[in-house]
Amino acid sequence: MFPIEHLSLPPDRAVYFASDFHLGTPTPEISRDRERRIVRWLDSIEADAGTIFLVGDVFDFWFEYRKSIPKGFIRLQGKLAQLTDAGIPIVLFSGNHDMWMSSYFTDEMGIPVHRNPRSYQIAGKLFHIGHGDGLGPGDQTYKRLKKLFENPLAQTMFRWLHPDIGIGIADRWSRHSRASHQGKFEEFMGEDNEWIMQYCREVEARQHHDFYIFGHRHLPLDLSVGKTSRYINLGEWLNYNTYARFDRNTVTLSTFES
């Protein structure tokens, strides 16, 4: 059973969810255009947002050193700081691309950072929210890699590399893995073959949630998990610019158009 965190939502406000911005890829220029679009989206929801969930892979690569962070992404950071300074809570989940977040977003912007899926009660509805990597059956290679990436000793050793070298290695690796996925849109594999869907069914069998919200799949989805339960995948912002909005009653997936 997942512990349930109660989140208060002012009566005239909504909850917003987005994931997989992958800032930093494929080039600084293209990423900066996307970053400006994300900031415009945040501008557009500011007056209405009670809480904003950013559900992983916000950055194509992120690694925190004790006294240093990667260059760039300053527009998004400035916008997030402005929102939390204005009293709008933001919750961040790290994804498989940016799992090496430490205390920077919390210390600097008051944003809690989570790695594993969590359950929330918001306006009487139960949510299960997470990035979505390594869940359900399958992906054994990734699960092994994830163990290595999450290994504290491996992280300490990486931290000892000079950032120009460490971030350089990460950039090259990201370019390499992108070359094999170039411009590819993800394809729906059918409900029974979607790993996150299988994970949602497993959780639902033990503990009911009204909404399962995940990213990672890079494919906007809205599927029934049970009679009164849905799995929403948030898509991504390289092609789709999709986000979800909870209006205290239901969750709607939309595309940001400007």
Pair 44, 31: CB distance under 8 Å: no
SS3 145: helix
Cβ-closest position to Mn ion: 57
Distance of closest approach, residue 241 Cβ to Mn ion, in angstroms: 14
212 conformational bin, left if phi > 0, alpha if psi -120 to 50, beta if neither: beta
Distance of closest approach, residue 249 Cβ to Mn ion, in angstroms: 29
Q: Which is nearer to Mn ion, 94 or 229 (CB)?
A: 94
Which range binds Mn ion by CB under 5 A, 56-64, 137-145, 149-157, 250-258?
56-64
What residues between 206 and 225 interact with Mn ion by CB under 5 A?
A: none
Q: Which is nearer to Mn ion, 89 or 215 (CB)?
A: 215
Phi and psi angles of residue 16, each rounded to the nearest 5 degrees, phi first:
-115, 145
* Token digits of residue 169: 């290695």
Pair 61, 100: CB distance under 8 Å: no
Decide if residue 20 touches Mn ion (CB under 5 A): yes
Distance of closest approach, residue 55 Cβ to Mn ion, in angstroms: 10
Distance of closest approach, residue 20 Cβ to Mn ion, in angstroms: 4
Site for Mn ion (CB under 5 A): which residue of 14, 15, 57, 194? 57
Angle at 233 between CA 38 and CA 90, to 5 degrees: 45
Smallest CA-to-CA distance from 114 within 135, 92, 98 is with 92
Which range binds Mn ion by CB under 5 A, 18-26, 146-154, 177-185, 242-250?
18-26
Distance of closest approach, residue 180 Cβ to Mn ion, in angstroms: 15
Pair 59, 99: CB distance under 8 Å: no
**Contacts to Mn ion by CB under 5 A:** 20, 57
